Amino acid sequence: MTSVALPRSVAKLCNHSGLGIGMQLSYSVVDVFTDSCFGGNPLAVVWAPEGLASHLMQKIAHEFNLAETIFLLPPRHDECHVRTRIFTPQTELPFAGHPTVGASFILGRAGRAFGRAITSDVLLEQNIGAVHAELLTECDAVVGGIVSSPEPLAIGPDVDPELIARACNLRPDQIETSRHAPCICTCGNALVFVEVTSEEALSQASPVISEFQQHLPRERAIGVHLYTPSTKEGVDYAVRMFAPMVGITEDPATGASNLSLVGLLTALAPGNTLRTSYRLEQGVQMGRPSQLRGDATKLDGVLSEFRIGGHCVPVAEGTLNIPSSFQ
């Protein structure tokens, strides 16, 4: 069998007599948007050789059964440190914030990827394009990452508040429309953004699958992102995200949708030139509290930059044994 030279024994092709194992891939599990183990949003990060089949990546993501699994592959463009592909248990995504933050954390801790040193910044080649991440460090140790939006914020059409109420098991009067009606926004993944009237309403919400299937298919938006001002000290907004049509009934911490939320709130804020920052909490109802930090800059009425980030905690490392029959 042929050996594949990748970082930290990323992949080995082997012939284990009787086991039928044809490939071994190194992986890490990291909790993203938390500084405590078993909080935040767990993520599988898999080092992969060039040419690993898409259907096999999808099977591996389904096996982990986490919100997302990200694969690290050799870059195709010299300016990037790594190429990535991101999968939910059911589908591939062009971009997602929590895998990008978690992968940047793993890459920063490794210090190298595919022969290139990594210091304070990581450039990841993703299906959406090149994505920039800044490493968060404390006492010279990498503790997390901050991801910049890969695309300008696009604010799309409004969505019927009564439809959203039905889809999220809420009453129509629990949908707040004074700041904006429910609307589809994207900076890489389209979601419906909905302000609700209270933290009580936020806690009460739950996805009604039949309504998502009929009115919110993933071709329209991959999920619904609910938010409301928080009364908790140190938190500006409490948020939840439902995406059952891509295999995520609820997500404990959603980087891409909170990135869009930071952009949306800043775009709607009064003033033509300002810099904002937001402290967001998610995952409380799931028993996986997550803390995200976002910031944005608006210049002459135009949203010029917006970012999302947070801490990460390593949880596990291991090896995936891939049978020869799956290659």
pLDDT of residue 20: 57
pLDDT of residue 323: 85
Q: Which domains, and CATH codes, for the chain?
A: 7-150+313-326 (3.10.310.10), 154-309 (3.10.310.10)
> Strand locations in 63-140, DSSP E?
69-73, 82-87, 92-93, 112-113, 116-117, 121-126, 129-138
Residue 68 annotated to the active site: yes
- How far apart CA 106 and CA 121 sit, in angstroms, is 12
pLDDT of residue 325: 74
Question: 225: which residues sit within 8 A by CB, 6+ positions away?
Answer: 191, 192, 193, 194, 239, 240, 241, 254, 257, 258, 260, 261
- How far apart CA 318 and CA 29 sit, in angstroms, is 9
Residue with tokens 């009425």: 301
pLDDT of residue 22: 77
> What pTM did the predictor assign?
0.91
Q: Which of 50, 63, 68, 176 is catalytic?
A: 68
pLDDT of residue 99: 98
Using 50 as the pLDDT threshold, list the residues of the chain that sit under it: 1-6, 8-19
pLDDT of residue 38: 95
pLDDT of residue 33: 98
Convert the pLDDT of each residue in 98-145 to its tens digit: 999 999 999 999 999 999 999 889 999 999 999 999 999 999 999 999
Residue with tokens 């967001």: 280
